[in-house]
Amino acid sequence: MKSQQALDKSSCEKAKEFVVHHGESEYELSRFLHFHPGGFNTLLRFEDRDIAGKMRTTQHSQAAHYLMEEYRRSVTNNASHDLEKLVDWSKPMLWQVGHLGKRYQEWVSSPVDRRLRLFQSNFVESISVTPWYIVPIFWIPILLTVLIQGYWDNYSYIKQDSLAFLWFMACFFLGVVLWSLMEYSIHRWVFHHHPPEDSFTLITLHFLLHGLHHKVPFDSQRLLFPPVPAALLGALAYSLIRMLTPLWMLHFMAAGIITGYITYDLIHFYLHYGSPKAHTYFYHMKRYHNQHHFAHHDSVSPCDEWSEGVACRVSWYMQFSGFDRLVCNNTFWLNEESNEKLPHSLFRLFSTT
C-alpha cells in the first residue's frame, strides 16, 4: 500500500489548481508546491485557506513575499511588482540589466518564477542553457580520459611502488577539496560582490555569471553552468595547475576537481528541483540552500553544499541539547508538519557575510 504522504502527493499532482488566500488576494500555487523548501505536505493543509497569519508568524522573508506575487490571481494592489516594469521580459535580458543602475541589486535579489531569455541569437541562447543531464554526459568522458591519462603517465611508478595508488588517491581527494575552496572563493568574492551602480559592463557581467540564478531560481535550464564556457574555464584552470604541480600529480588532481564540480552541480540542481523526503540529509540541505536564495543572499557556505549539511546536522544536535535556544533564530519557511523551526545559528558560523 502507498503511504499517506505518497497518496497526498499523487492526488496533488493530479490537481489542476492549488489555491490559497492572503488577505483579499488569491494565489494559485500548484507549480510552487514542488519547490517549497519545507516539503510538499507543508502546504497541503493550507489549500483554500488564508496563509497571512502563518507567513507572518514564521517570519517569511521579503524575497518570499515578493515571489508570492508571481502566483497572485487578482491584479489589484500589485504595486510590489513594479520592479519588473523596469525591464521588458519579452526581450532578451542581458543587455537590459546594465541600465538598472542603483536599482539592479534590489531587482536581482527579488526572485520571480519565470523563464528568462538572455540573448537575441537563437544559437548563442541555445548554448547558454543547460538541462541537468548535459553535465554528466559532457564531463564524465573527460573525467575518465584524465584518469586514464594519469594512469598511463605513471604506469611504471605504479608497478614499482605498492604505495603509489594511495598517493594518487590522496591527489584525487586533494582535487575535490581544491574544487570546494575554488567554488567558495569565486562564489563569495566574485559572484556576491556587488557591482558598482554606475558600471553597465560590471552589472551585466555579474548578472551573466550569477545574478540570473538568483533572479530566476526555478528556471531549470539555468541552474547549471553551460558546458562551453565551463570547458573554457576548465582549460584555463588545467593550464594553471599544470604550471604549479608536478606532472605525476596533475591528472589525478584534475580528476578530483572535475569530480567535485560534477557532484556540486548535480546536488545544486537537486536542491532546487528535487523533493527529498522530510528530515533526511538532503531535505535539510535544501532548506539551508533556500536560506541563501531567499533570506541571506550574501551568505555563502565554505566547501559549498557539503558544509551546509554539516552545519545543519550540528545545529540539530545543538537544538536537541538545548544549547541552540541561547541563539536567536529566524526562519524562511516553517515545516508545519513537525512544527520545527529552521535553525541556522551554525549556518552563520559556517558563512561569510
Burial 208-230 (b: 16+ CB within 10 A, else e): eebbbbbbbbbbeebbbbbbeeb
Question: Residue 145 to residues 105, 141, 148: CA-CA distances in angstroms?
Answer: 42, 6, 5
DSSP state of 51: -
Distance CA 339, CA 75 (A): 33
d(CA 127, CA 190): 23
Q: Running DSSP on this structure, what letter comes out for residue 277?
A: P
Cβ atoms 130, 225 nearer than 8 A: yes
Q: In degrees rounded to 5, what are phi and psi of residue 186?
A: -65, -45
Judge whether 193 is annotated as a binding position.
Answer: no
| Residue 296 marked ligand-binding | no
344 is in an annotated binding site: no
Q: Please report the DSSP string for 225-266 in residue order.
A: --HHHHHHHHHHHHHHHHHHS-HHHHHHHHHHHHHHHHHHHH
Confirm whether residue 214 is marked as ligand binding: yes
297 is in an annotated binding site: no
210 appears as a binding residue in the annotation: yes
253's grid cell:
588532481
CA–CA distance, 133 with 259 (Å, rounded to integer): 15
Written as nine digits, the cell of 247 is 606532472
289 in a labelled binding site = yes
| 192 labelled ligand-binding | yes
Please state the residue numbers annotated as binding site.
36, 60, 187, 192, 210, 213-214, 268, 272, 289, 292-293
Please state the residue numbers annotated as binding site for Zn(2+).
187, 192, 210, 213-214, 268, 272, 289, 292-293
Please state the residue numbers annotated as binding site for heme.
36, 60
